[in-house]
Amino acid sequence: MGASPIVVAEDLTRHYRVALKEDSLLGTLRHFLRRRYQTIRAVEGVSFRILPGEVVGFLGPNGAGKTTTLKMLTGLVHPTRGKALVAGHVPWRREKAFLRKITLVMGNKQQLIWDLPAMDSFRLNAAIYEIPEGEFRKRVLELAEMLSLTEKLHQPVRKLSLGERMKAELLAALLHRPEVLFLDEPTLGLDVNAQVAVREFIREYNRRYGATVLLTSHYMADIAALAERVLVIHQGRLLYDGPLAGLLERFAPYREVGLTLAYPLPREAFLAFGEVRDLEGLKARLLVPRERLTERVAEILKSLPVEDLEVREPPLEEVIARVYKIAPSGLSETPALEEA
């Protein structure tokens, strides 16, 4: 018998009712006498289940509903309708036992006290979660070593680099050793080296403690490196829930063929073999249908002055963009209007 899911979302929906007002004196008077409202459908009927220990990527453009969904699952926002269970608890009840089992890290928010050493903020968190002194020291040292942050614990937060601050935020959020991690853009704004360090830490934390992770990120490298399964949300609705490899198969029915040529050729020379995505000097990039890949590669090698050839999956960013482009046409682009 399989394990029971640790995160359950059933028909999760969140609507916001926002008053509309024109930018004029007349508009202000109209607004006072007879208000009109706009219903923002931030999340609409989202359902999924996550098993203990899974790392799941949560993808979607800005405004798609990712953060609102995370806020409902962590109890910060009450849904308009629908149900959720996280680690056996209804999130919006915000029970003490529930808060001990989860954490929410947002790349654009900080909990550390700016002018104090990070260690002081860690002590505050330890007091909140009633972590004994000995256990507190053990956890700080262990997490700091995993994050390569040991030498920075006693420096004021304002003197840390952006990457170091993000590592310290992660350490603070994980001191109580939560079972479920909700990570909203944890590598936002970090340089490549810092992104890799945070990514490796999340992978190691998941391996070492069996923590469940729901991760949103605009950096496709984060998703590709950490998540075998992805959820794709667009305009508040869930478009895809399945393996990352299945996303490529379903929404990218082609492979990318990279060519290095012995001498330059005009674009017309490649049109018989596939769609020309890039052509510059001796380098060309073609998109070839998956089902005709073997045949087309043989034709390319026979017909063109190829010095090197590489077949690869298209960039994940392009696949995700394609998912959004072919989103169900039934989704409304315009929020509903109401009058009071």
Instruction: Say what the pLDDT of residue 337 is.
Output: 34
Are both 188 and 92 inside the same structural domain? yes
**Alpha carbons 127 and 20: distance in angstroms, whole number:** 45
Instruction: Say what the pLDDT of residue 95 is.
Output: 96
Mention every residue, 6+ apart, whose C-beta is less than 8 A from residue 202.
Answer: 55, 181, 183, 186, 213, 215, 226
Instruction: Say what the pLDDT of residue 329 is.
Output: 43
Residue 208 lies in a domain: yes
Residue 296 lies in a domain: yes
Q: Are 125 and 159 in contact (CB under 8 A)?
A: no
Tell me what the mean pLDDT of segment 260-279 comes to: 94
For residue 228, the domain's CATH number is 3.40.50.300
Inform me whether the pLDDT recorded for 177 exceeds 60. Answer: yes
**Mean pLDDT in the chain?**
89
Are both 66 and 24 inside the same structural domain? yes
Residue 138 lies in a domain: no
Q: Where are the beta strands (DSSP E) in the chain?
A: 7-20, 36-50, 55-59, 81-86, 102-106, 180-184, 212-216, 229-234, 237-243, 254-261, 275-280, 283-289, 306-312, 336-339
Range of the structural domain that residue 51 is part of: 7-101+178-248
Inform me whether the pLDDT recorded for 338 exceeds 50. Answer: no
- Provide the number of structural domains found in the chain: 2
Over the stretch 91-129, which tens digit does the pLDDT of each residue have?
999 999 999 999 999 987 888 999 999 999 999 999 999
Which among 29, 1, 59 has a CA at the least distance from the CA of 248? 59
Inform me whether the pLDDT recorded for 237 exceeds 90. Answer: yes
Residue 234 lies in a domain: yes
Residue 154 lies in a domain: no
Tell me what the mean pLDDT of segment 62-76 comes to: 94
**Alpha carbons 220 and 223: distance in angstroms, whole number:** 5
Inform me whether the pLDDT recorded for 276 exceeds 90. Answer: yes
Residue 135 lies in a domain: no
Residue with tokens 């000097």: 281
Are both 239 and 266 inside the same structural domain? no
**Alpha carbons 184 and 205: distance in angstroms, whole number:** 17
Q: Are 223 and 31 in contact (CB under 8 A)?
A: no
Tell me what the mean pLDDT of segment 65-72 comes to: 95
Top pLDDT among 11 and 28 is at 11
Are both 219 and 93 inside the same structural domain? yes
CA 193, 198, 200 angle in degrees (round to 5)? 95
Residue 72 lies in a domain: yes
Inform me whether the pLDDT recorded for 340 exceeds 70. Answer: no
Are both 95 and 16 inside the same structural domain? yes
For residue 306, the domain's CATH number is 3.30.70
Tell me what the mean pLDDT of segment 170-191 comes to: 94
Tell me what the mean pLDDT of segment 293-314 comes to: 94
